[in-house]
Amino acid sequence: HAGTLDPEATGVLAVALGEATKTVPYIADALKAYRFSVRLGQATNTDDAEGELVAVAASELVRQVTDEQIEAAIDSLRGSINQVPSSVSAIKVDGKRAYAKVRGGDEVKLAPRPVVVSRFEITSPARVVEEGAATYLDFDAVIECSSGTYIRALARDLGSKLGVGGHLTALRRTKINNYS
């Protein structure tokens, strides 16, 4: 197959059989596109909704985040950037997958890696979500990026840049190269 998807992700996963397996390196390293949803105001230990909450921002801080601030933070994540992958990624560390080490109780710090985010656009206005005493902002977006880009890490970094935390709540790969 041409690359992996996060366990909770859906969408395109290119699979090759027989002689077609020779094309996998060209497909795996190609542009990828995703639709996804982000929650601002919460951070998790896995940078997605499956993880344990590690921080919840004060409701008044979340309410102060504007669409313009979100767009400015997104703009800083476009182009050629160095991204620190999520500690629960499939990257190997000392011969074991990072996610396996984290699940085993180890702390994993991964080095930044160069990636390219050629498109990162909001497709729905931020929605205010009230859950008990907490307030969050949810929005949907699309992205086109290089191989090796971690969308959950972009959601985490966006929340960090805004000072309220953030994580991925849904992820669907829509395209690998010309396959959709």
Name the H helices within the chain. 24-28, 59-63, 67-75, 98-103, 151-162
Which residue of the set 6, 47, 48, 157 is catalytic? 6
Is 6 designated active site? Answer: yes
User: What are the φ/ψ torsions at residue 62 (nearest 5 degrees)?
Assistant: -65, -45
Calculate helix-pair angle for 151-162, 67-75, nearest 10 degrees.
130
Q: Residue 135: beta bridge partners?
A: 130
Q: How many other CB atoms sit within 10 Å of the CB of residue 118? A: 14
- Enumerate the active-site residues: 6
